[in-house]
Amino acid sequence: MIPVLCFAAVSLLGVLPLCLSVWQLSLPASILITAAAFILLHALYFVFFGLVASTVPNDRPLEKQNAICRFGAASILSLVNFYAGARVIISGTEKLPTDRRFLFVSNHRSMLDPIIVIDKLRKYNISFISKPSNMNIPLGGRIAYATGFLAIDRENDRNALKTILTAADYMKRDLCSIGIYPEGTRSKTNEMLPFHAGSFKIAQRAKAPIVVASVRGTEDLRRFRFFAGEKVYLDILEVIPAETVCALRTDSLSEQVRAIIQADLDRSEKQEG
């Protein structure tokens, strides 16, 4: 926390004189330069956390989560939500476990889905399983890795199993909770895609409960209509106890979770229709 505050203070001291000087210019020029300074500040903020993350080896599982990167990721993603104009309405948070790690499972409609979860449920410290290309994003991928994100290669069963085992280990060691989107990719029609049952092995290996959630409304934010105030609904539907998770086959567990989410989406569609 102290390094973050120091960096923020230094950055503000660097930008503030510029902002003060532009007040004497014409209004359009003042707005343009101030906006540029604002963007520069955010870019420096992002680069700082990227540099911190670069000190964390990404060729092996984490020994511990990088607290600075976790704070930075949540802060940056909160800004993304703000710029995207997401007005998030959450229900069912009282169901979330507070005494143990869990596997967070939801449908997937937009690239903003995990961003909203990380921001709005930040105290639950949820890191996501993601596709490999996301982990290769300059700076952003290293920050994600340092906070507990893992890439899964669904084209290679051996590598996918390795990721599943690592994710379960993170949960068992109380490093973080894990979030997955069993569809594997976001739906472009709002209709849920088939689930990949293998990802549920994470909860079974960790002997952890599964938090079932649904999301809707993020599909309206795909074009980033800034400050639009679009409503996004994140509903915590049910928590499946660890005992039940371990007792079921992964395909049965996958079908049960999918049915819970689908029922909620159907109910919401009828109410809004």
Contact predicate 86/116, CB 8 Å = yes
The tens digit of pLDDT for each residue in 189-233 reads 888 999 999 999 999 999 999 999 999 988 877 555 555 668 899
Hey, is 200 helix, strand or coil? helix
10 Å Cβ neighbour count for 153?
13
Q: Is 198 found in the same domain as 103?
A: yes
Predicted confidence at residue 224, as pLDDT, reads 53
Which of 55, 54, 48 is CA-nearest to residue 76? 48
Which of 259, 272, 265, 267 is CA-nearest to residue 215? 265
Residues of the chain with pLDDT under 70: 1-39, 41-42, 222-229, 273
Hey, is 272 helix, strand or coil? helix
Q: Is 213 found in the same domain as 125?
A: yes
Q: Is 42 found in the same domain as 170?
A: no
Q: Is 90 found in the same domain as 10?
A: no
Structural domain boundaries enclosing 14: 2-49
Question: At CB < 8 A and 24+ separation, what contacts does 245-249 make?
Answer: 245/200, 245/203, 245/204, 245/207, 245/208, 245/209, 245/210, 246/204, 246/207
Specify the DSSP element, H or E, that contains 151: strand 150-151
Q: Is 140 found in the same domain as 7?
A: no
**Side-chain half-sphere CA neighbours of 21 within 13 A:** 7
Q: Is 214 found in the same domain as 157?
A: yes
Predicted confidence at residue 83, as pLDDT, reads 77
Q: Is 61 found in the same domain as 44?
A: no
Predicted confidence at residue 35, as pLDDT, reads 63
